[in-house]
Amino acid sequence: MRNARFRFVLVALAALALVLPWGAETPAQSKGTIKIATQSPLSGGQAALGEGIKLGTQLAVDKLKGPLEKMGFKVELVPFDDQAKPDVGVANAANIIADKDILLVVGHLNSGVAIPSSEKYKESQLAMISPANTNPTVTDRNYLNVSRVCGRDDVQGSVGAEFAKSKAWKTAYVIHDKTTYGQGVAEFFKADAEKKGIKVIGFEGTEEKSNFDPILTPVKAKNPDLIYFGGIYDQAAPFFKQAREKGIKATFMGPDGMDSSDLTKIAGPAVKGMYYTSVAGPVTVYKDAAAFAKEYKDKFKKDPEPFAAQAYDAAAIGLKGIEAAAKAAGGKVPSREQVSVQIRKTKHTGLTGAVEFDDKGDPKKAQYFVLQVASEDPAKWGDNKPIKTLTIAAPPLKK
Amino acid sequence: MDLELLVAIFPQVLLDGLILGFMYALIALGYTMVYGVLEFINFAHSEIFVVGAFVGVEILLTFKALGWIDLVSPFLILLVVLLVGMLASGLLAVTVERIAYRPLRGAPRLIPLISAIGVSFFLQDAVRLVESIWRNAFNLVYPTMETLNLRFSLTETIDVSVKSLVVIVASLLMLWGLHALVNRTKIGKAIRAVAEDQATASLMGINVNRMISLTFLIGGAMGGAAGVLFGVQYSLINPYTGFIPGLKAFTAAVLGGIGNIPGAMLGGLVLGLLEAFAASYLSLLTGGAFGAEYKDIFAFSILILILIFRPKGLLGEVVRERA
B215-261 tens-digit pLDDT? 999 999 999 999 999 999 998 999 999 998 999 999 999 999 888 88
For residue A73, the model assigns a pLDDT of 92
Whether residue A15 is predicted with pLDDT greater than 70 in this model: the reply is: no
CA A110 and chain centroid, separation? 6
**Nearest residue of B to residue A46, measured between CA atoms:** B138
Distance in Å, alpha carbon of B85 to nearest chain A alpha carbon: 20
Distance in Å, alpha carbon of B212 to nearest chain A alpha carbon: 28
What whole-number percentage of chain A has pLDDT above 90? 70
Q: Which residues of B touch A208 (CB under 8 A)?
A: 279, 292
Give the β-pairing of A275-278 and B140-141. Answer: unpaired
Question: For residue A27, what pLDDT band results from cuts at 50, 70 and 90?
Answer: very low
Question: For residue A254, what pLDDT band results from cuts at 50, 70 and 90?
Answer: very high
Q: What is the residue range of A76's domain? A: 2-151+286-363
**Which of A4-18, A31-45, B122-136 is least confident?**
A4-18
For residue A310, the model assigns a pLDDT of 93
Residue A353 is part of a domain; what is its CATH number? 3.40.50.2300
Interface of B with A (CB under 8 A): 5, 8-9, 12-13, 16-17, 19-20, 117, 121, 128, 138-139, 141, 144, 149, 151, 157, 159, 161, 230, 233-238, 240-241, 243, 275-280, 283-284, 288, 291-293, 295
CA distance A334 to A332: 6
Q: Are B236 and A209 an interchain contact pair (Cβ–Cβ within 8 Å)?
A: yes
Q: Domain spanning B3-139+157-309: which CATH class is it, in words?
A: mainly alpha
Q: Considering CB atoms only, which of B12, B234, B284 is closest to A238?
A: B234
Q: Considering CB atoms only, which of B20, B243, B283 is closest to A211?
A: B20
CA distance B296 to B282: 11
Q: Which residues of A touch B230 (CB under 8 A)?
A: 210
Q: A302 and A259, same structural domain?
A: no
The answer to whether residue A386 sits within a structural domain is yes
Whether residue B158 is predicted with pLDDT greater than 80 in this model: the reply is: no
Whether residue B44 is predicted with pLDDT greater than 90 in this model: the reply is: yes
Contact A13, A52 (CB under 8 A): no
Is the N-terminal amide bond of A108 cis, ω within 30° of 0?
A: yes
CA distance A53 to A307: 6
Q: Are A47 and B141 an interchain contact pair (Cβ–Cβ within 8 Å)?
A: no
Q: Which residues of B touch A247 (CB under 8 A)?
A: 151, 159
For residue B321, the model assigns a pLDDT of 46
Residues 6+ apart with CB under 8 A from B311: none
Contact B151, B159 (CB under 8 A): yes
Instruction: Please give the DSSP secondary-structure letter assigned to residue A357.
Output: B
The answer to whether residue A28 sits within a structural domain is yes
The answer to whether residue A201 sits within a structural domain is yes
Q: Which residues of A touch B20 (CB under 8 A)?
A: 211, 213-214
Over chain B, what is the mean pLDDT? Answer: 89
The answer to whether residue A398 sits within a structural domain is no
Whether residue B84 is predicted with pLDDT greater than 90 in this model: the reply is: yes
For residue B213, the model assigns a pLDDT of 95
List the beta bridge partners of residue A229: A175
Q: Are A214 and B235 an interchain contact pair (Cβ–Cβ within 8 Å)?
A: no
Whether residue A81 is predicted with pLDDT greater than 90 in this model: the reply is: yes
Mean predicted confidence (pLDDT) in B179-191? 91
Q: Are B13 and A214 an interchain contact pair (Cβ–Cβ within 8 Å)?
A: yes
The answer to whether residue A11 sits within a structural domain is yes
Q: Are B139 and A266 an interchain contact pair (Cβ–Cβ within 8 Å)?
A: yes
Q: A169 and A99, same structural domain?
A: no
For residue A370, the model assigns a pLDDT of 95
Total domains in chain A come to: 2
Q: Are B5 and A221 an interchain contact pair (Cβ–Cβ within 8 Å)?
A: yes
**Complex ipTM:** 0.87
Distance in Å, alpha carbon of A336 to nearest chain B alpha carbon: 37
Q: Which residues of B touch A85 (CB under 8 A)?
A: none
**Which of A347-351, B45-49, B155-159, B222-226 is least confident?**
B155-159
CA distance B274 to B83: 30
Q: Are A245 and B293 an interchain contact pair (Cβ–Cβ within 8 Å)?
A: no
Distance in Å, alpha carbon of A302 to nearest chain B alpha carbon: 13
Q: A98 and A193, same structural domain?
A: no
Question: For residue A24, what pLDDT band results from cuts at 50, 70 and 90?
Answer: very low
CA distance A389 to A70: 40
Mean predicted confidence (pLDDT) in B27-38? 90
In chain B, where are the structural domains located?
3-139+157-309
Whether residue A49 is predicted with pLDDT greater than 80 in this model: the reply is: yes
Q: A173 and A92, same structural domain?
A: no
Q: A219 and A175, same structural domain?
A: yes
Q: A48 and A122, same structural domain?
A: yes
Q: A347 and A203, same structural domain?
A: no
Residues written for chain A: 399
The H-or-E segment that residue A226 falls in is strand A226-230
Q: A245 and A134, same structural domain?
A: no
For residue A6, the model assigns a pLDDT of 65
Instruction: Please give the DSSP secondary-structure letter assigned to residue B100.
Output: I
Q: A269 and A202, same structural domain?
A: yes
Neighbours of A197 (CB within 10 A): 8
Burial of B27 (0-12, 13-18, 19+ CB in 10 A): buried
Contact A130, A145 (CB under 8 A): no
Q: Considering CB atoms only, which of B149, B237, B291 is closest to A204?
A: B291
Whether residue A23 is predicted with pLDDT greater than 50 in this model: the reply is: no
Q: Which residues of B touch A206 (CB under 8 A)?
A: 279, 291-293
Give the dihedral sign, CA B9/A182/B127/B48. Answer: negative
Q: Which residues of A touch B149 (CB under 8 A)?
A: 245
Q: Are A202 and B235 an interchain contact pair (Cβ–Cβ within 8 Å)?
A: no
Dump pLDDT digits (tens) for B287-321: 777 878 888 888 888 888 888 998 888 888 765 54
A/B interface, count of CB pairs below 8 Å? 101
